[in-house]
Every structure is written in C-alpha cells, then in structure tokens.
C-alpha cells in the first residue's frame, strides 16, 4: 500500500532496532495523519511513534520482540502503547472513563454505545470503556514486578493469576485515571479475578456488580439465563444514564452493536489472513484479537487501524508475499501467553500459529442484530469461552485447529490462575484424544527479560517432535 510517498517494504518480521531505522523513512506528513479520538486533529493526539519511544517510557520488553514491518502494524503498536495517555486525555476532553471488569467483551459494547451529551464539544462527552484486566500485560511489557508487588501488599500474592496487576494499578492511581464508574462482572467468572475485584471495591466509591451466569445450553435454561443477563444489563444502563445525563436509546445500542460487529468481522478476516496464509505474525494477530474487548479505549480509531491491517494483509495475499513461510510448523495456541515474547520465540524456531483460543470468544462472536440489543449482547456473553466448562472451551478450539490442520498445540497456563490450574491438563487431554497430535503445556514464568531456560528447552523439544512427525 502507498500513503503519500511511502510504500511498505517487503513483508518481514523485524527487530526493535530495525524499526528505528525504518521509522526514519516515514514522511512527517504521514505521521501527522494519525490521531486518536477522531475527528479530533489536535497535535496532542498523534500516536504514530516507533517502539523506541515507548521503551524509553518503560515498555522495556519491546526491545526483545519482533514486529511486522508494515505501516499498519506501526499504527497498531503506537496506538496500543499509548492507551494510558489516551485514557487521561479522555478525562481532560470531558469523556466519562468507565472501568469494566471480568467479562472481557460484552459490557464494553454497552458502555461504548453511550454517545456524547447533546451540545458537548466535538471531542467531549460520551463514555470510554476500558478493561483494567488487560493491565496483566504491563508487568511483562515493563519487565517490572512493581504492580505485582503492590497487589501482594494488598493481599493477593504469587499464587494468583497475573491479572492481579490490575489491583496494583488501581492502588497506584497512575496507570489509568480513577474511573468515573466501575462495572464488575461476578458470579461464574474467574475466582482469581473476583478476588481482585473485591479488593478494588474497597478503593473506589462504588462498583456496579453484574451477575454472570454459568453458560447453559439446554433451551429451557437458556431463556431464563438470557432474561437474567438482560435485567443485569438494564441496571448497568440506568447507572450509565445517571453518570452521563444521557438517555440511552435503543438506536444508540444498535449503533454500538453494529460498530462492534464490524470490528469483529474485520478481526475474523485478519485471523484468516494470518492463520491461513501467514501474512501477519502471531503477536500482532493476538493484539488485534484483544482489541475486540474495548478497542484500546478508542474503538473508532482502532477500527480504522484494523481496516488498514486487513487491507495490508489482502495486498500481501494478492502479491503472494508472506511474513512466515507456509511450510512452517502449524501450531495451535490455547490461553493467551502473558509474556508476548513466547509467540516470537516459537516463530523464530520455524513455527507459525494457525489457531488460537484466548478465552475471549465472547468478544469475537457476532452479536445478533435481529433481536433487542440487550438480548443480543447477553447472547454474545453466553457464547463466551470465559464461562462454561473446560470441555466446551476445548471443543471450540478443536474445531478451529482441525480446520487449519494444526500439527501441535501449546497450552500456556498461568501459575495459580483459577481457570487454568486444572484446565490446562483437561484441555490438553481432550485435544490429544480428538486430534492425536503433540501437546505442550507449561505455566508462563513471571516477568523477566528472557524466556527461562527450562521453557525454552521444552518448546524446542516439542517443535522437534512435531517436525519429526512430518
């Protein structure tokens, strides 16, 4: 693709230092093009910066990763890395900052549907949803245990999922603005994160608790469960109306759903391009999948970035240019790796990811637009891989892995993670029984500069085994 005089180089995965060199070739007029909170064009909202900028501000792990070398991917990284700045700016321009916790997807669709108040400035008004849950990546990105230590001080220590970093972030008051409202899913959600939420509740003026049911598939139970979730969402709407002074109409919710579905369709296509044809690396693909949760606090600009990525991927496919060799070992991945370096490591050793189950199906499945909006959102929650049995999660993954002829599967667990402590083995056994391919399970080690020796050796041996079966 070309923008101004700039043309993407031949597709490749490049290092941190190589991005620095490449960034020198990007024209200033191009850098000026990209702003968050469109249509705002203020200088403070530019985000097209190279990884070096964010490494200087603390994201030290970027120095060790490999990146896709397209302009679209540069947009992705600049945008994702400046989310903290964006949340503080949101407050400054009059948006209500709403923390949604524990459901990974559906609640953000409701919050992001709340449009600006009548008469507000073009930048201001409306709500911005964000998931503090996603701060579980921060200790890895910063190679720092500061947030985990803070969580431990407050009572949640090492035997708990890395998502406890969110508790540390609330306590520090500097990783995101103190939210105007906190909405937290509880019930059939993760035990570890419920512990985090209950301590967060002591730090904030109020939490709107949303009961999350266990997914039930029997038709009779399903109707009851859906009704219950819709009633919970009606309470959420009431709170949002009190907060913003805006009457939330059905049309606003429908528009929010259409926007979420558009993003989810783009993400599906991007996954096909990456997993089916190797035109994007696994790391950027995972970042795109997680963008379906809340659009990294600006769903409009995030959608434009994913459109750009898909255009780039289609152009690469048409030109027969990939970043990963099509004869690479085809690996499926279950549970998002808290340390992104793991994805780069596997690709460096001749594999590519062809299927994933990152516990966020509820943010990826299309919302039914033919039923009342809150019912459609409730149904999307009930497609979730976050709630329900391990077997259902494994079944979802097996279908995807079969479709892509995965030759091996990695299940990356989380030490102490309640959905993972027992689940990795159960899921691994189920996949092995169905697909008869090698499975590797390991717990992701705490934040560090490199992948520990033991994990490296296990991954190397696993990939050797997969290769030997060809």
Residues in touch with ligand SF4 (CB under 6 A): 161, 163, 190, 192-193, 359, 414, 417-420
Place of tokens 């070309």: 2
Q: Closer CB to ligand SF4, residue 162 or residue 280?
A: 162
Using alpha carbons only, give the angle 70, 409, 422 rounded to the nearest 5 degrees: 120
Helix H or strand E segment including 458: helix 453-468
> Nearest distance from residue 192's CB to ligand SF4, in Å?
4
**CA-based nearest residue to 413, from 444, 445, 453:** 444
Element (H, E) at 129: strand 127-130
The DSSP annotation for 359-389 comes to S-HHHHSPPPTTS-HHHHHHHHHTT-SSSS-
Residue closer to ligand SF4 (CB basis): 72 or 107: 107
**CA 198 to the chain's CA centroid:** 23
Least gap, CB of 318 to ligand SF4 (angstroms): 37
Distance from C-alpha of 454 to C-alpha of 120, rounded to nearest angstrom: 56
Nearer residue to ligand SF4 within complex by CB, 85 or 211 = 211
> Which one, 312 or 385, has the nearer CB to ligand SF4?
385
Min. distance of Cβ 165 from ligand SF4 in angstroms?
Answer: 10
In the complex, minimum distance from the CB of residue 423 to ligand SF4, in angstroms, rounded to a whole number: 9
Smallest gap from Cβ 429 to ligand SF4, in A, equals 19
> Closest approach of Cβ 378 to ligand SF4, in Å?
20
Using CA atoms, how far apart are residues 338 and 61, in angstroms rounded to an integer?
12
Unique residue bearing structure tokens 């490449």 = 22
Q: Among the residues of 295-403, which ranges form H helices?
A: 299-319, 341-348, 361-364, 373-381, 390-403
125 vs 336 by CB, closer to ligand SF4: 336
Q: Are 127 and 95 in contact (CB under 8 A)?
A: yes
Phi, psi of 149, deg, nearest 5: -65, -40
Compute CA 245 distance to the chain's CA centroid, rounded to the nearest angstrom: 30
* Counts for the chain of helices (H) and strands (E), in that order: 21, 12
CA 195 to chain centroid = 21
Residue written as token pair 């009548």: 118
Whichever of 93 and 184 has its CB closer to ligand SF4, that residue is: 184
Least gap, CB of 443 to ligand SF4 (angstroms):
11
Q: 70 or 390: whose CB is closer to ligand SF4?
A: 390
Closer residue to ligand SF4 (CB): 76 or 359: 359
- 409 forms beta bridges with 332, 439
Q: Respond yes or no on whether the N-terminal peptide bond of residue 222 is cis (omega within 30° of 0).
A: no
Place of tokens 């705490």: 446
Minimum Å gap between C-beta 133 and ligand SF4 is 6
Closest approach of ligand SF4 to the CB of residue 62, in Å: 22
Q: In terms of CB distance, is 81 or 335 closer to ligand SF4?
A: 335
Give me the least distance between CB of 413 and ligand SF4, in Å please: 9
User: Looking at beta carbons only, is 387 or 463 nearer to ligand SF4?
Assistant: 387
For residue 453, give the 3-state DSSP assignment: helix
Closest CA to 398 of 387, 411, 382, 379: 411
């Amino acid at each position: 693709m070309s923008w101004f005089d700039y043309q993407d180089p031949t597709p490749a995965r490049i290092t941190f230092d190589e991005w620095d060199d490449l960034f020198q070739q990007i024209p200033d007029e191009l850098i000026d093009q990209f702003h968050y909170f469109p249509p705002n064009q203020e200088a403070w909202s530019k985000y097209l910066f190279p990884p070096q900028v964010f490494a200087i501000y603390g994201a030290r792990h970027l120095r060790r990763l490999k990146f896709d070398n397209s302009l679209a991917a540069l947009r992705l990284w600049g945008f994702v890395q400046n989310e903290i700045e964006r949340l503080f700016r949101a407050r400054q321009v009059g948006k209500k900052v709403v923390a949604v916790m524990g459901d990974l997807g559906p609640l953000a669709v409701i919050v992001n549907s709340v449009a600006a108040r009548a008469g507000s400035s073009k930048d201001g008004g409306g709500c911005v949803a964000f998931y503090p849950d996603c701060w579980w990546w921060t200790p890895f990105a910063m190679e720092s245990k500061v947030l985990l230590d803070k969580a431990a001080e407050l009572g949640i220590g090492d035997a708990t999922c890395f998502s406890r970093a969110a508790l540390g972030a609330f306590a520090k008051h500097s990783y995101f603005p103190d939210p105007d409202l906190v909405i937290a899913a509880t019930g059939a959600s993760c035990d570890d994160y419920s512990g985090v939420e209950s301590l967060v509740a002591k730090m904030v003026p109020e939490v709107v608790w949303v009961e999350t049911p266990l997914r039930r598939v029997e038709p009779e139970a399903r109707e009851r469960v859906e009704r219950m979730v819709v009633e919970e969402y009606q309470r959420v709407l009431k709170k949002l109306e009190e907060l913003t002074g805006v009457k939330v109409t059905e049309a606003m919710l429908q528009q929010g759903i259409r926007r979420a579905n558009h993003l989810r369709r783009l993400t599906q296509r991007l996954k096909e391009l990456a997993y089916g044809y190797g035109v994007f690396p696994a790391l950027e693909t995972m970042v795109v999948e997680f963008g379906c949760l809340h659009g990294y606090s600006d769903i409009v600009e995030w959608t434009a970035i994913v459109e750009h990525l898909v255009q780039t991927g289609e152009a690469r496919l048409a030109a027969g240019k990939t970043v990963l060799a099509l004869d690479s070992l085809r690996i499926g991945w279950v549970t998002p790796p808290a340390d992104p370096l793991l994805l780069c490591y596997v690709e460096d050793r001749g594999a590519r990811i062809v299927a994933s189950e990152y516990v966020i199906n509820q943010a990826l499945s299309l919302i039914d637009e033919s039923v009342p909006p809150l019912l459609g959102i409730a149904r999307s929650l009930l497609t979730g891989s976050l709630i329900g049995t391990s077997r259902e999660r494994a079944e979802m993954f097996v279908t995807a892995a079969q479709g892509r002829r995965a030759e091996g599967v990695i299940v990356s667990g989380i030490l102490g993670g309640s959905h993972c402590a027992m689940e990795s083995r159960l899921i691994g056994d189920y996949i092995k029984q169905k697909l008869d391919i090698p499975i590797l399970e390991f717990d992701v080690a705490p934040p560090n500069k490199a992948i520990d020796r033991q994990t490296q050796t296990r991954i190397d041996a696993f990939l050797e085994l997969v290769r030997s079966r060809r």
